[in-house]
Each structure stands twice: as structure tokens, then as C-alpha cells.
Structure 1
Amino acid sequence: MGKWFKSGSPWIWMTSGAVSICLLSVLGLLLLIAAKGLSYFWPDNIYEWQLKDEQGQQYSLIGEIYDSENVPTERLIAAGREFAEDTGQTVTRYLIKTGNREFVDLDFRWILASDIISRSQPKDIAVIERNKNGDFFGFPIAVLENGTRLSGGNLSQLLQQHIGRAVKLNEQAQALQKSEIGSINYQLEKLRLKERGYELDNALTSERKEDIAQQKAQLDAEYQLLEARFFDLRKQAARDALIIKDMRGKEVILPLDSILGITYANQLSFIDKVGHWFTGIGKFISQDPREANTEGGVFPAIFGTVFMVLLMAVIVTPFGVVAAIYLHEYAKKGLVTKLIRIAVINLAGVPSIVYGVFGLGFFVYMLGGSIDALFYPEALPAPTFGSPGVLWSALTLAILTLPVVIVSTEEGLSRIPSSVRQGSLALGATQAETLWRIIIPMASPAIMTGLILAVARAAGEVAPLMLVGVVKLAPTLPVDMNFPFVHLDRKFMHLGFHIYDVGFQSPNVEAARPLVYATSFLLVSVIVGLNLTAIGVRNHLREKYRSLEH
């Protein structure tokens, strides 16, 4: 036994066991997040309950089972609940999602199993997905087509046709508003700033003023035509309506322009539910958020996260590589160089919120304010670059991740034998040529390793971004079809901040909970995707320049 301990085998097994436990814990956490998040898109069965309240009166409830738990009977009795008969030591209670926010106080409610008289799954009950006020549960009765009631034939097929028509018209109206109408508004704002710039320079001549007025008149005329077309599309989308009976037994009229889709969940087969599940995931990834981020998709957050990380990578890589090359290849080995290396290593331990405060003070207020004063005086006092934006977020995270890139690149440079440098110099190459053609290609895998670590940290950071650019809801993306096409001064959405906002700032906690899991899993997937891409590039470079090492 003593020899076994002296050989070091116990410590090897202990380390292996600890690593295995860590890997299993991480994998288990990811599986939990994936299960909680992806199950949100699975269409559950819809039930109709017949219940009785404490006074013995009966009422109906329609919804889906969201959660269930066993509650001690004593706790319920202590809370003032009375039971007519013995229910045992525990009572099962169900959390029901009822929707229909216009007619109920809360779209989630708890019901006790002891209050249930009967439960059924009607085949003709439908889930109406809407663009506001959440889902609506009920029994479709008829379609109002331009005021005419249609209820004969296949009602389900009739509904799908009319809802598809309304959704298509709404999409056309939204596309018109975002593209052509948005472009005209952008041009009008540019003309206003141009005129203001001429006024500040005392160069607003009558000819320029008349030319700007003509351009404005032409844009206004185009705007009026597009606006008329927009309202016509909205009017056509609002032409029809759905008559549906809710759980109160009353008929409710829902305009079709507010409906996104209809699902008869109790009629779906397993294959249909799988297709509905994939469709829900696709909508979650591709659509914009709505209802205070508790419904809809997260596409702007995905785009903002990836765009900001890529911009950060473009900024941090050259600066980190140049700094590492200088420290390793050019700087003299002395006290100053050691202090710089110590400072770089210590910077990696600075709290990220400190970088956010620095970015807000230096980049936004000082640098951005100076840029506005020099290049955008006509827009003042409204800031252009003197306000948090995606550029300042990328620069802040570039500084935050710079030590990682420097250290990784230096380690890669130190692994290159000095004989390679001496051989290149002996053949007549300059030091710069040796670096560019030999050293940097051989160190490129280490550079990519530093970039991978930088991307992994930057993609998950939230605290500094809250100060320098990220917002709850960004009306426009940093990239559009208006010149110069990439707008680095705009604010953006981020998956990490979206998780914080939905999880801790949402007014509807129960509705937001599954979205927190789904968005968390999506953020992990985005980070893994970015890292796998960088790892693939690193492996390619490693194979490409392997011959130089020999």
C-alpha cells in the first residue's frame, strides 16, 4: 500500500474522478436546461375541468397543466382552507395556464385536486396564439368574414385559411414599415441633420434650402403613398374575426389581425406534435420578442450577441497579437517587461463591472462625446456616438479579454524553437519577414486558442454591457439596408441580458420561467457554435503549418 501511494497512482485516480464528476455535473446541468427549455415548445393537451369553490358553487376552467405538487393538508388548513371531507395528509394541486387575460385576473392559477369534479379533453378545443394578451383557450364557433358569419363546412380548415390570409397581410405591412417606410424616415432624418449642419456653418443658402425642401417634398409624397398602402394592408388584415366560446360559456369575438395561429392540441398525433415542436423552436429563433419579452422569439438578441462577439474578436485579435509579439520578440528582458506581464495577468482578474464603468466613462462619454462634437455637431444635443452602443460594447469586452489573448499568444511564441528564428535570419530574412512568414503562422493555433477563450468569456458577459450598449428591446438591428449599412452607434439586444430581464424583471414570472431555460440553452448553443468554429479553424491551421515545426 505504501508503494502504491508513493507511486502517485492515488492522486491520478483522485484527479480523474474529480474531473469526471465535474464533467458529469456540467453535462447534467446542460441536460436539465435543455429539458426545461425545449419542453416549452411541446404542445400539451388542453383540459376542461368542472370545479367547485369553497361555497360549493360549480364553475368551468379550461387550460393546460403547467406544474403539480403535493401540499400538506395542515398547511392549507392553517391558511384558512376548509375541507368538507378527509383528504389525507397531502393534497395534490395543479398549476393551470388558462390564458384569456382580458377576462381573468391571472393567466396562471392553482387548483386543488379535492375541488375537481370532472376532467375531460374535448377534441374541438383550440389554442389561439396572439400577438398580444397571450394565448386564448376556447371552442371556435364561426368565422366573421367582412361581417358575414360563416360556420358551415370544415370550420378548422376555414379558420386556417382566414388566419393564414391575415398573417400574410400583417407580414407584408410589417415588411413595408421596416423597409421602405423606415428607409424614408431615415432619409428625412438625414436631410434634417444636413440642413442643421448648414445652419451651424452659416452655409444655408437659398439654393441649398430650396433643394432640401424639394427632396423633403418628394420623400413626403412617397411616404404618403406608402402610408396609405400600409393602412390598407392593416385594414384588410382586420377584415375578418373569429367567434369563440370561452370557459365562461360566453361568445367572444377575436379580430384575426391579432391572431398568429390556431392549434387543436387534443387532435394532434405524436408526429403532428413533433412537427409543431420544431415549428415552435423555429419561431423562437427567427421572430422578434413581444409581451415584455415573455413571448415571441429572440432573433434580435441572437443577432446582437453574435455581431458584438465577432466585432470584439476583430478588435481584440490584432491588438493582443501585436502586444504579445512585442513583449516576446522585441522587448528587453528586464524589470519593466516583468511588471507589464504581471499587470496583464492581473487585468484578467479585474471584475467585469469595472470594465463597464471604464467603458462608460472613457469610450462613451469622453471618446464618443468628442466624436459627436467633431463630426456630428448638427445632431447635438442628441448623441450619436456619445451614447452606449454596439461599438463601445465590443471595445469594452475587447479590453476585458485582451489579457487572455496576450497570454495565450505568448505561450505559443515561446514554444517555437529559437533555431527556427536563427535559421530564417541566417538565410537572409529580416526579423519582420521571419515573424510574418514563419513565427506568426506557427503560433496561429495558440492565437486561435486565445480567441476561443476570449469569445467564450465575452459571449456570456452581461454586467459591463448593461452600461455600454445593451437594452431590453432594440427597435432596429445594427445592420440594415440604409447607408452605411452597419450602424455601430446603435444599441442592441443580448442573450445574456435577455435572460436577466425575463428571469428577474418580468411581470409574469410563471410565463417567463420556461423562456429563461430556453434562452439559456440557446446562449450555451451559440457559445458552443462559435467555439467549435474557432476550434475548426485552429485545427486546420495546426495541420497546415505542422511541417514548419519539423
Structure 2
Amino acid sequence: MRNWFKSGAPWIWLTAGSVSISLIAVLGVMAMIAWRGLSFFWPAAIHEFEVRANDGSSQVIIGEIYDSEEIPMQRLRESGVVLDGYDEETLTRVLLKVGNREFVPLDFMWVMEPQIVRDETPDTLAVVERSKDGNFYGYPLHLLENGERVASTDLRADIQQRIERAVELNEKAADLQQSDIGAINFQLNRYRLERRALELKGELTDSEIARIEAGEQQLRDDYQVLEQQLFAYREEASRDSLVVRDMRGVEVTLPMYRVLDITFPNDMGVFSKVGHFFKQIGKFVTENPREANTEGGVFPAIFGTVFMVLLMSVIVTPFGVIAAIYLHEYAGKNAITRIIRIAVINLAGVPSIVYGVFGLGFFVYMVGGTLDQIFYPEGLPSPTFGTPGVMWSAITLAILTLPVVIVSTEEGLSRIPSTLREGSLALGATKAETLWRIILPMASPAIMTGLILAVARAAGEVAPLMLVGVVKSAPMLPVDGNFPYFHLDRKFMHLGFHIYDVGFQSPNVEAARPLVYATSFLLVTVIVGLNLTAIGVRNHLREKYRSLEH
């Protein structure tokens, strides 16, 4: 036994076991998040329950079974709930998602199984997805066109056709409002700032005023034309309505311009459910959020996360590489260099919220405020760069991840044999040429390793971003068709902050819980995608310059 311990075999097995347990734990957590997140998009059966109370009254409830649990009867008795004729020790209750938010006080309600006297899943029950007030559950009865009932031989096909028509008109109206009308508003604001800038310089002449007013008048005329077209789209979209009977037995008229989709989950086969599953995932990835981020998609958050990480990578990589080259190739081996290395290593352990406070105070208020006073005085007192935005978020996270890139790059530089440097210098190359043509190409895999670690940390950071740029809902993306196309002063959405907002700030916690898991899985997928891209580049560089190492 003593010889076995001396051989080092126990430590090998202990290390292998620890790595295996860690890997299994990570895969288990990922599987749990994926299951709970992706199951949200699978079409669940719609139940129609008849629930009878102790006083003999009955109520019809329509909804999806969201969860179930076993509870002891003693707990119910202590809370004042008494069930006549039920003598078991435990009781099963189910949590139903009932929707119909404008008519039902709660989206979710608990129903105890002993009170259920009827449980049916009719094929004609429908789930109506709406842009406002959440899903609506009920029985579609007929269509209305301009308030008049429409005769229909195939109601489902006619409903789907009119939904597609309304969705297409709504998309045209949204595109018109965001692109053409948005561009006009952007240009009007540019004219306003130009007038203010000329006034501050004392160059606001009559000719300049006439030119600006003529441009503004032309934009207003164009705006009137586009506004009439916008109203026409909205009026056409509001032509149709759908009449649905809800669980109260009341016929409710749903305007078609608010309906996004209608499904009949109880009448779906396996292939139909699979198609609907992938369709819902696609909508989740490509659409904008709705209902205080508790419904709809997360495309602005995906775009903001990727854009901010890429901008951070562009900033941190050159600074980190230059700092590592100086420390390893130029700085002397003295006390000052050792202090700098210790400081760089210690910076990696500073809490991220400290970086956020520093970014808010230094970059936003000091640097951004100074830029506004020098370059954008016409916009004051409304700040341009003196307010949190995507640029300050990227710079703050670049400083946060800078130690990782420096340490990784310096380790890569230290692994390059000194004979290569000496051979290059002996052949007449300067030190700068040696660095550019020999050292940096060979150190590029280590640089990419540092960048991978930086991306992995930056993409998941939330605390500093809450201070320097991220918001709950951003009306515009940092990139659009208006010059200069990249608007680094704008605020943005982030998947990490979206998870925090939906999970802890949502007024409807039960409805938001699946979105938390789905967004968490999506955030991990985005990080893995960015890392795999960087790993692919690193492996390519490693193979390309492998011959130089020999």
C-alpha cells in the first residue's frame, strides 16, 4: 500500500475522479436547464376541468397542466381547507395555466384532484397566441369581417388565413414605422442638432435657417404620406375578428390584429407537434419580447450580447497583446516589472461590480461628459456619450478581462524557444520584424486562448453592465440603417440581464419561470458558439505554425 501511494497512482485516480464528477455535474445541470427550457415550447394538451366545491357549486376551468405536487392533508386543514369525504393522508393538486388574462384575475390556479369531477381534452379547444394579454383558451366559433359574420366551410383554414393576413399587415406597419418613419425622425433630430450647433457657433444665418427649414418641411411632408400608409395598414389589419367561447361560457370577440397564431394541441399528431416545437423555438430566437419580457422572443438580447462581446474582443485583444509583449520582450527583470505582474494577476480577482462602478464614474461621467462638451455641445443638457451605452459596456468588460489576455499571451510568449529569436536576429531581422513575423504568429494560439477565456467571462457578466449600459427593454438596436450605422452611444439588451429581469423582476413569476430556463440555455449556447468559433481559429493557427516550433 505504501509503495502504491508513493507511485502517485492514487492522485491520478483522484484527479480523474474529480474531473469526471465535475463533468457529470456540468452536463447534468445543462441537461436540466435544456429540458425545462425547451419543454416550454412543446405544445401541451389543453384540459377542460369541471371542479365542484363543497357547497355543491361547480366551475369549468380550461387550461394547461403546468405542475403537480403532493401535499399532506394536515397542511390543508391548518390553512382552513376542508374536503368532505376525503380521508387520505396526502392529496394531489395540479397547477393550471388558464390564460385569458383580461377576464381571469390570475394566470395560474391550483386545483385539487378530489374536486375534479370531469377531465376532458376536446379536439376543438384552441390556444390563441396574442400580442397582448397572453394566450387565450377557448372554442373558436366563427369569424367576423367588419362586424359581420363570415360563412365558412373550413373554419380552421379560414382562421389561419386571416391570421397570416393580419400578421403580414402588422409586419408591414412595424417595418414602415421602424425603417422609413424612424429614418425621418432621425433626420429631423439631426436638423435640430445642426441648427443648435450653428447657433452656438454664431453661424446661424438666414440662408442656413432657410435650408434647414426646407429640409424639415420636406421630411414632414414625407412623414404625412408614410403616416397615412401606416394608418391604412392598421385599419386593414383590424378588419377581421375571431369569436371564441371561453370557460365561462361567454362569447368573446378577439381582434385579429392582436392574434399571432392559433393551435389545436389536442388535435395534433407527433409530427405536427414537432413542427410546432421548432416553429416556437424559431420565434423565440427571432422575435422581440412582449408583455414586460415574459412573452415573445429575445432577439434584441441575443444581438446585444453578441455585439457587445465582439466589440469587447476588438478592444481587449490589441491592448492585452501589447501589454504582454512589453512585459515579456522589452521590460527589464526588476522590481517594477514584478510589481506590474502582481498587479495584473490581482486585477483578475477584483469583483466585477467594482469595474462597473469604475466604468460609470470614469468612462460614462468623466470621459463621456467631456466628449459631449467638446464634440456634442448642441445636444446638451441631453447627453450623447455621457450616459451608459454599449461602448462603455464593452470598454468596462475589456478592462475586466484584460488580465486574462495578458497572462495567457505572456505564457505563450515564454514557451517560444529563444533560439528562434536569436536565429531571426542573426539573419539580419530587426527586433520588431522578429516580433511581427516570428513571435506573434507562434504565440497566436495562446492569444486566442486568452480571448476564449475573456469571451466566456464577459458574456456571462451582468453586474457591471447594469451600471454602464444594459436596460430592460431597448427600443432600438445599436446597429441600423441610419448613418453612422453603428450607434455605440445607445443602450442595449443582454441575455444575462434578461434572465435576471424575467426571473426576479417579473410580476408573473410562474409564467416567467420557463423563459428563465430557456434564456439560460440560450445564453450558454451563445457562449459555447462564440468559444467554438475562437477554438476553431486557434486550432487552425496552431496547425499552421506548428512547423516553426520544430
Q: Structure 2 length normalisation: TM-score?
A: 1.00
CA contact (8 A) 2:101 2:133 kept: yes
Per-residue deviation, 1:423 = 0.3
Secondary structure at the counterpart of residue 253 of structure 2: strand
CA contact (8 A) 2:324 2:406 kept: yes
Per-residue deviation, 1:6 = 1.2
Matched, 1:445 2:445: yes
**1:311-460 correspondence runs (5 A):** 311-460=311-460
CA contact (8 A) 2:54 2:84 kept: no
Structure-2 residue corresponding to 1:123: 123
Residue ranges of structure 2 left out of the alignment (5+ in a row): none
Paired amino acid for 1:33 = I
Let me know the Cα RMSD of the aligned residues.
0.6
Secondary structure at the counterpart of residue 194 of structure 1: helix
Identity %: 67
CA contact (8 A) 1:369 1:386 kept: yes
Q: Deviations over 1:456-484 (max 9, x none)?
A: 00000000000000000000000000000
CA contact (8 A) 1:347 1:403 kept: yes
**1:137-156 correspondence runs (5 A):** 137-156=137-156
**1:42-441 correspondence runs (5 A):** 42-441=42-441
Per-residue deviation, 1:151 = 4.3
Aligned mates of 2:2, 2:319 — CA distance in 1: 53
Structure-1 residue corresponding to 2:490: 490
Aligned mates of 1:253, 1:362 — CA distance in 2: 55
Paired amino acid for 1:28 = G
Paired amino acid for 2:255 = P
Q: Structure 1 length normalisation: TM-score?
A: 1.00
Per-residue deviation, 1:54 = 3.3
Q: Deviations over 1:72-107 (max 9, x none)?
A: 011101110111102411110000000001111001
Structure-2 residue corresponding to 1:504: 504
Aligned mates of 2:355, 2:44 — CA distance in 1: 45
CA contact (8 A) 2:47 2:119 kept: yes
Per-residue deviation, 1:55 = 2.0
CA contact (8 A) 1:129 1:262 kept: yes
Residue ranges of structure 1 left out of the alignment (5+ in a row): none
Aligned mates of 1:10, 1:485 — CA distance in 2: 60
Paired amino acid for 1:368 = G
Aligned mates of 2:54, 2:295 — CA distance in 1: 34
Paired amino acid for 1:194 = E
Paired amino acid for 2:98 = T
Structure-2 residue corresponding to 1:524: 524
Moved segments of 4+, more than 4 Å: none
CA contact (8 A) 1:33 1:520 kept: yes
Per-residue deviation, 1:53 = 2.1
Q: Deviations over 1:488-530 (max 9, x none)?
A: 0000000000000000000000000000000000000000000
Paired amino acid for 1:314 = V
CA spacing shift, 1:201–1:364, aligned 2, 3 Å? same
Secondary structure at the counterpart of residue 177 of structure 1: helix
CA contact (8 A) 2:86 2:114 kept: no
Paired amino acid for 2:510 = E
Secondary structure at the counterpart of residue 132 of structure 2: coil
Q: Deviations over 1:158-200 (max 9, x none)?
A: 1011111111100000010010000000000000000011111
Per-residue deviation, 1:145 = 1.1
Structure-2 residue corresponding to 1:534: 534
Per-residue deviation, 1:152 = 3.1
Secondary structure at the counterpart of residue 477 of structure 1: coil
Aligned mates of 2:421, 2:349 — CA distance in 1: 34
Per-residue deviation, 1:8 = 1.0
Aligned mates of 1:55, 1:539 — CA distance in 2: 72
Aligned mates of 1:517, 1:284 — CA distance in 2: 13
Structure-2 residue corresponding to 1:19: 19
Secondary structure at the counterpart of residue 84 of structure 2: coil
CA contact (8 A) 1:50 1:60 kept: yes
Q: Deviations over 1:528-549 (max 9, x none)?
A: 0000000000000000011111
